[in-house]
Amino acid sequence: MPFCKNIAILEKEVELAIFPQLRLRRLRRTEALRQMVRETDLSVKDFIYPLFVIHGEGIRQEIGSMPGNFHISVNLLPREAEEVAGLGIPAIILFGLPETKDALGSGAYAPDGIIQNAVRVIKKAMPELVVITDVCLCEYTSHGHCGVVEGGYIDNDKTLELLARTALSHAEAGADMVAPSDMMDGRVREIRETLDRNGFQDISIISYAAKYASSFYGPFREAAECAPQFGDRRSYQMDPPNVREALREVEQDIAEGADIVMVKPALAYLDVIRQIRDEFNYPLAAYNVSGEFAMVKAAAQRGWLDEKAVALEILTAIKRAGADMVITYYAKEAARWLSQD
Ligand code: PBG
């Protein structure tokens, strides 16, 4: 009977490894033993720290919904960059709050726009710090959408050129990597072609490939002043229940020339991270977004959670799911915690 054969196999395994001979607790007995068999390694080298750049001078103002994160004016960026690099964090990602907004988001691709100025200042002060720029229009458009609005709809193809211009202006300012976060179809190809045509073959693209229409972006939208003034982002960002579609988004972005792909948010989408890691041999980033950060902060401030333990557990979980790098508002704090251990 085939059934017996199965039992025979099972018995052999049983003989080798089952309680009381086997005790999985043996390797958990001391910290040294636990370290030896630890499968996931969380390091400061995995972190990318987001910075919010604001116009004005001498400003370093804490963001209400994101304690420990600041709106920083361009002239104070060298100090911040030094601190970040000093902690061993290899990269930052920049978001800008322009002085004025318009329908076409012209501040996003102005040669002397807020991000372009920020990149120049940081690269001069701290050339070895990897500078990534978020490429999107929503912080720069009066309507708060990530693209060109035509009759109440976000026009995909008309947006592409503006995104490519934005990415090019960031590269010209000295950015190491551009990160399109708009979710328009075809933007990676448009950006890659534009960068290559202008001599920026070596500037890489980290694409927000699977970016969901998530409610976890709330605190960020307040911080970056980029909430849509009408409707929502569901006609371009992904529908949260979908994962097969995420694989297609990643496939497309890789085909178009993305060097690194990203899943966003991270904590509520660990299954998406895992599936992408299993399907593709590309570097994978995950964005532990503002709402995911704010939840932990708020609970910690009330004494309901052990902040350090929970934050490190979340970051470890994101890596265990398969991410190679994590964009996190906890980067500086976690860097300090990891160096204490
Ligand atoms: C811009 C952008 C957003 C975030 C990163 N880039 C907001 C959005 O898409 O509405 C969110 C980041 C966060 O919540 O931490 N498109």
Q: What is the 88 CA–ligand 1 centroid distance (Å)?
A: 25
Structure tokens at 226: 């980029």
User: Maximum CA pair distance of the chain?
Assistant: 81
264 annotated active-site: yes
Give the C-alpha separation, 61 to 169, whole Å.
27
Q: What is the 236 CA–ligand 1 centroid distance (Å)?
A: 13
Smallest CA-to-CA distance from 261 within 212, 208, 319, 219 is with 208
Q: What is the 327 CA–ligand 1 centroid distance (Å)?
A: 12
319 annotated active-site: no
Structure tokens at 301: 């401030």
Q: How many CA atoms lie within 13 A of 240 on its CB side?
A: 10
Active-site option among 101, 264, 319, 332: 264
Q: Whose CA is nearest to atom 5 of ligand 1?
A: 181
**Which ligand 1 atom sits nearest the alpha carbon of residue 288?**
15
Q: What is the 211 CA–ligand 1 centroid distance (Å)?
A: 9
Smallest CA-to-CA distance from 339 within 43, 130, 84, 36 is with 43
Smallest CA-to-CA distance from 323 within 6, 62, 41 is with 41
Give the C-alpha separation, 289 to 291, whole Å.
6
Q: Which of 115, 146, 220, 226 to mutate to test the pocket of ligand 1 (most atoms within 8 A of CB)?
A: 220
Q: Give residue 1's pLDDT.
A: 41
Residue 27, strand partner residues: none
Q: Whose CA is nearest to atom 11 of ligand 1?
A: 217
Q: What is the 39 CA–ligand 1 centroid distance (Å)?
A: 31
Q: Whose CA is nearest to atom 6 of ligand 1?
A: 181
Active-site option among 211, 297, 319, 332: 211
Q: In the structure, which protein residues have their CB atom closer than 6 angstroms to any atom of ligand 1? A: 134, 136, 138, 146, 181, 217, 220-221, 226, 233, 289-290
Q: Which of 69, 92, 136 to mutate to test the pocket of ligand 1 (most atoms within 8 A of CB)?
A: 136
Q: What is the 322 CA–ligand 1 centroid distance (Å)?
A: 22
- With both helix axes pointing from N to C terminus, report the angle between 114-125 and 77-86 in degrees, rounded to the nearest 10: 50
| Residues in contact with 47: Cβ distance below 8 Å, sequence separation at least 6, in sequence order | 89, 90, 91, 325, 326, 327, 328, 331, 334, 335
Q: Give residue 3's pLDDT.
A: 46
Give the C-alpha separation, 50 to 285, whole Å.
14
- With both helix axes pointing from N to C terminus, report the angle between 307-321 and 331-340 in degrees, rounded to the nearest 10: 100
Taking only the tens of pLDDT, the chain with its 341 residues reads 444 445 555 555 556 679 999 999 999 999 999 999 999 999 999 999 999 999 999 999 999 999 999 999 999 999 999 999 999 999 999 999 999 999 999 999 999 999 999 999 999 999 999 999 999 999 999 999 999 999 999 999 999 999 999 999 999 999 999 999 999 999 999 999 999 999 999 999 999 999 999 999 999 998 888 999 999 999 999 999 999 999 999 999 999 999 999 999 999 999 999 999 999 999 999 999 999 999 999 999 999 999 999 999 999 999 999 999 999 999 999 999 999 97
Tokens 């179809």 -> residue: 185
Q: Whose CA is nearest to atom 2 of ligand 1?
A: 181
**Which ligand 1 atom sits nearest the alpha carbon of residue 95?**
6
Q: Which of 217, 288, 318 to mutate to test the pocket of ligand 1 (most atoms within 8 A of CB)?
A: 217
Amino acid at 71: H
Q: Give residue 341's pLDDT.
A: 72
Asked whether 179 and 171 are in contact (CB, 8 A), the reply is no
Q: What is the 338 CA–ligand 1 centroid distance (Å)?
A: 27
| Residues in contact with 281: Cβ distance below 8 Å, sequence separation at least 6, in sequence order | none
Q: Which of 51, 226, 236 to mutate to test the pocket of ligand 1 (most atoms within 8 A of CB)?
A: 226
Smallest CA-to-CA distance from 122 within 168, 173, 57 is with 173
Cis peptide before 78 (omega within 30 of 0): no
* pTM of the model as a whole: 0.94
Q: What is the 3-state secondary structure (H, E, C) of the chain?
A: CHHHHHHHHHHHHHHHCCCCCCCHHHHHCCHHHHHHCCCCCCCHHHEEEEEEEECCCCCEEECCCCCCCEEEEHHHHHHHHHHHHHCCCCEEEEEEECCCCECCCHHHCCCCCHHHHHHHHHHHHCCCCEEEEEECCCCCECCCCCCEEECCEEEHHHHHHHHHHHHHHHHHHCCCEEEECCCCCCHHHHHHHHHHHCCCCCCEEEEEEEEECCHHHHHHHHHCCCCCCCCCCCCCCECCCCCHHHHHHHHHHHHHCCCEEEEECCHHHHHHHHHHHHHCCCCEEEEECHHHHHHHHHHHHCCCCCHHHHHHHHHHHHHHHCCCEEEECCHHHHHHHHHHC
